């Protein structure tokens, strides 16, 4: 239910500020007389920044060199004081521009986020969405309150953790996106709200993008089945239209070879499409190499859900009656089926 404080290691731990003079030795310092005073200070600042970021500055980050060194160091000290060392390192590596903020702003915004969303780790939240640091605290508070009202929530922490970018959107935009989502899926408002509560990122998508993804699903599943698939797995709308079409085509070609899979295809595809496509190789292997396929007793979704290491260890025996009979013999197979014996058939009876 959201990442709890301490999971990412938020600690009140003050990391010592790194002085720019300590960022390099005489071996790495510029030769005397080769740089002007301003050039020397800029070089020292660059070396110090790269020492705390842990990598060379990118071209887009060179504006940091124009900032005052004391301001940079104060901001670095603030986040080191409020966040754990690992979170600081990850945040600065991803978005070192936070050091350009007005001194004291970082500390006040981190405290605001901790107070506003007490069950969340402020450092992890900022790492996932650095943009939150550039939004006024009053605007975040208003957006959070409007979001609670729009989605009829009492506690917004879990929703913010799952989709923190929602705090950067205006309430009018979010309400408009909710109405368009309900229209595209032919849902009433209460059902649309329930769907967004399951996957709040749906409010981030444009209506044009959603329409294209739904069209890709409807081409294969039909209107009603497509709507049901999205209701069961809202994450489907997080895939690109091209990815949806490709996966639907690949799964359809596999399912045609196995009677049971073809029968359950429309029901199973919503669960399968959101899984990594590398898992489909398992289904292709079964469809290509195992006979008689009419004896397959597990759906595609159940086979993909089974852990690969156990699935490989069982060598497909447990989900194919013909293979069980061949492996154990007819009598032993009947004993396993009725609860007798203690073979591998009993060990993995949950996937028969």
Q: Answer whether 0.85 is exceeded by the pTM.
A: no
**Tokens matching residue 209:** 């993008």
What span, in angstroms and rounded, lies between the C-alpha atoms of 209 and 229? Answer: 17
Distances (CA, A) of 317 to 12, 32, 219: 55, 76, 36
Pair 125, 113: CB distance under 8 Å? yes
Question: What does the DSSP 8-state code read for residue 273?
Answer: T
- Beta-carbon neighbour count of residue 49 at 10 Å? 25
Q: Are 47 and 24 in contact (CB under 8 A)?
A: yes
**Token output for 347:** 């060990």
For 217-226, b/e burial (b = at least 16 CB within 10 A) is beebbeeebb
* pLDDT of the chain, 352 residues: tens digit per residue: 444 444 444 443 344 444 444 444 443 444 445 557 878 888 888 899 889 888 998 888 888 888 888 889 998 998 888 888 888 888 888 888 888 888 888 889 999 999 999 998 888 888 888 888 888 999 999 999 999 999 998 888 999 999 999 998 989 999 999 999 999 988 999 999 999 998 898 999 888 888 988 888 888 888 888 888 888 888 888 888 889 889 989 998 988 888 888 888 878 888 888 888 888 888 888 777 666 666 667 788 877 877 766 666 555 555 555 555 655 554 444 444 433 333 333 333 333 3
Name the phi and psi angles at 18, rounded to 5: -90, 125
Using CB atoms within 10 A of its CB, is residue 270 exposed (0-12), middle (13-18) or buried (19+)?
Answer: buried
Q: Nearest CA to 36 among 28, 26, 44?
A: 44
């Amino acid at each position: 239910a959201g990442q709890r404080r301490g999971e990412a290691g938020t600690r009140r731990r003050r990391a010592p500020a790194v002085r720019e003079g300590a960022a390099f030795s005489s071996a790495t310092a510029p030769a005397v007389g080769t740089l002007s005073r301003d050039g020397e200070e800029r070089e020292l600042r660059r070396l110090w920044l790269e020492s705390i970021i842990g990598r060379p500055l990118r071209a887009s980050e060179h504006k940091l060199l124009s900032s005052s060194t004391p301001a940079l160091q104060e901001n670095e000290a603030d986040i080191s004081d409020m966040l754990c060392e690992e979170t600081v390192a990850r945040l600065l590596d991803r978005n070192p521009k936070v050091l350009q903020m007005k001194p004291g702003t970082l500390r006040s915004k981190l405290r605001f986020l901790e107070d506003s969303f007490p069950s969340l780790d402020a450092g992890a939240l900022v790492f996932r969405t650095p943009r939150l640091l550039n939004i006024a605290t009053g605007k975040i508070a208003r957006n959070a309150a409007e979001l609670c009202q729009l989605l009829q929530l009492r506690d917004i922490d879990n929703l913010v953790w799952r989709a923190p970018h929602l705090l950067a959107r205006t309430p009018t935009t979010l309400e408009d996106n909710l109405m368009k989502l309900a229209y595209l899926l032919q849902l009433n408002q209460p059902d649309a709200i329930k769907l967004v509560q399951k996957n709040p990122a749906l409010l981030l998508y444009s209506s044009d993008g959603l329409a294209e993804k739904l069209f890709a699903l409807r081409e294969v599943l039909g209107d009603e089945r497509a709507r049901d698939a999205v209701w069961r797995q809202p994450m489907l709308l997080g895939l690109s239209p091209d990815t949806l079409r490709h996966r639907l085509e690949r799964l359809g070609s596999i399912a045609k070879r196995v009677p049971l899979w073809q029968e359950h295809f429309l029901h199973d595809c919503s669960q399968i499409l959101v899984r990594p496509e590398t898992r489909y190789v398992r289904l292709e292997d079964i469809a290509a190499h195992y006979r008689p396929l009419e004896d397959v007793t597990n759906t595609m979704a159940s086979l993909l859900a089974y852990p690969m290491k156990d699935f490989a260890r069982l060598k497909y025996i447990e989900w194919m009656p013909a293979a069980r009979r061949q492996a154990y013999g007819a009598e032993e197979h009947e004993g396993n089926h009725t609860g007798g014996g203690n073979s591998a058939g009993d060990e993995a009876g949950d996937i028969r």
